[in-house]
Amino acid sequence: MKKIPSVIDTHAHLDEFPDPREVIREAKEGGVLAIVAVGQDISSNQKTLEIAEQNPGFVFPAVGYHPWRLNPENDDETLAHIDNNLSHCIALGEVGLDYKAKTKKKVQKAIFLKLLAIAKKHDKPMILHCRYSHETVFRMVKEAALRKAVFHWYSGPLELIPLIAAAGYYMSATPALLYNPYHEKAINAVPLSNLLLETDTPVQYRELATRPVHVQVTLAEVARVRGITQEEIAEQTTRNARACFDLEGFS
Ligand SMILES: [Zn+2]
């Protein structure tokens, strides 16, 4: 029997599954070594922390405030909750700027700056959502001298990729590689040393409703796009994920 390559899903919304136990079990059996579970607001962060607590050494939590979930009434409480919980998380996310979202750019930027300050204070990587905002987000994290960051589901400008890589930041690939020529082009341009795999589960990619085990689909697609074996991609991206999120030192 062919051995299944070992991979890490670096971006999953486990809190969106009514009962995540089944998909976690399936992931373990499907060669997934670890899952980075991201949060979007207080209740999502809380659920994410609980799921991580129930799955030590396998589900690693990140707490965040997604640009789609911004609500001025909740800002202070959400930021305080992130600040209070970040020390036992592996990253701050999902956060970022979404210039197609309804919240004004200026308002989004102000929150993002506060989140950036919290990430800096705890020296944690940020997991970034960017839409029509890659240059701005990159400039802001670079100016803040944030040590580590992930530009998730990279679909930004191709010319930004070498700059993101030179700053030591990471970019991640999703199952959108199955059908999206732009994502394919971008992922083909990311240096292997800066590449991560993810699902953004439970996102539906055309007929594929993803679960964390589908990070294997991402792996197969990256191998196809790059013309390198799945084993080689799995080994390198797993090493990258461990380095990015300091998984070795995390307990
Ligand atoms: Zn996401």
**Mean confidence (pLDDT) of the chain:** 97
pLDDT band at 56 (very low <50, low <70, confident <90, very high): very high
Task: Compute, in angstroms, the gap from residue 2 CA to the centroid of ligand 1.
Answer: 31
Task: Compute, in angstroms, the gap from residue 109 CA to the centroid of ligand 1.
Answer: 19
Q: What percent of the chain has pLDDT over 90?
A: 97
Task: Compute, in angstroms, the gap from residue 223 CA to the centroid of ligand 1.
Answer: 23
What is the pTM for the complete model shown?
A: 0.97
Task: Compute, in angstroms, the gap from residue 200 CA to the centroid of ligand 1.
Answer: 5
Q: Tell me: pLDDT of 124 over 90.
A: yes
CB neighbour list of residue 25: distance below 8 Å, 6 or more residues apart: none
pLDDT one-digit tens code per residue, 125-161: 999 999 999 999 999 999 999 999 999 999 999 999 9
Q: Tell me: pLDDT of 190 over 90.
A: yes
Task: Compute, in angstroms, the gap from residue 224 CA to the centroid of ligand 1.
Answer: 24
Task: Compute, in angstroms, the gap from residue 130 CA to the centroid of ligand 1.
Answer: 11
Q: Tell me: pLDDT of 183 over 80.
A: yes
Reduce the secondary structure of 192-221 to three states and give it as a string.
HHHEEECCCECCEECCEECCHHHHHHHHHH
Token pair for residue 72? 């001025």
Task: Compute, in angstroms, the gap from residue 60 CA to the centroid of ligand 1.
Answer: 15
pLDDT one-digit tens code per residue, 24-44: 999 999 999 999 999 999 999
Residue 1 has what pLDDT?
63
Task: Compute, in angstroms, the gap from residue 102 CA to the centroid of ligand 1.
Answer: 17
Q: Tokens 């390559």 sit at which residue?
A: 5
pLDDT one-digit tens code per residue, 73-102: 999 999 999 999 999 999 999 999 999 999
Residue 250 has what pLDDT?
66
| Domain definitions of the chain by residue range | 7-245
Q: Are 133 and 98 a contacting pair, CB within 8 Å?
A: yes
Token pair for residue 26? 């399936």
Q: Tell me: pLDDT of 121 over 80.
A: yes
pLDDT one-digit tens code per residue, 206-232: 999 999 999 999 999 999 999 999 999
CATH for 7-245?
3.20.20.140
Task: Compute, in angstroms, the gap from residue 203 CA to the centroid of ligand 1.
Answer: 8
Mean pLDDT, residues 164-186: 98
Q: Could you tell me the CA-to-CA distances from 137 to 30, 108, 192, 228 in Å, in that order?
A: 34, 11, 22, 31
Residue 3 has what pLDDT?
84
pLDDT band at 62 (very low <50, low <70, confident <90, very high): very high
Q: How far apart, in Å, do the first and last CA atoms of the chain sit?
A: 34
Q: Tell me: pLDDT of 251 over 60.
A: no
Task: Compute, in angstroms, the gap from residue 1 CA to the centroid of ligand 1.
Answer: 34
Quick one: which H or E segment has residue 235? Answer: helix 230-245
Task: Compute, in angstroms, the gap from residue 176 CA to the centroid of ligand 1.
Answer: 13
Task: Compute, in angstroms, the gap from residue 211 CA to the centroid of ligand 1.
Answer: 13
Q: Are 14 and 38 a contacting pair, CB within 8 Å?
A: no
Task: Compute, in angstroms, the gap from residue 37 CA to the centroid of ligand 1.
Answer: 9
Residue 197 has what pLDDT?
98
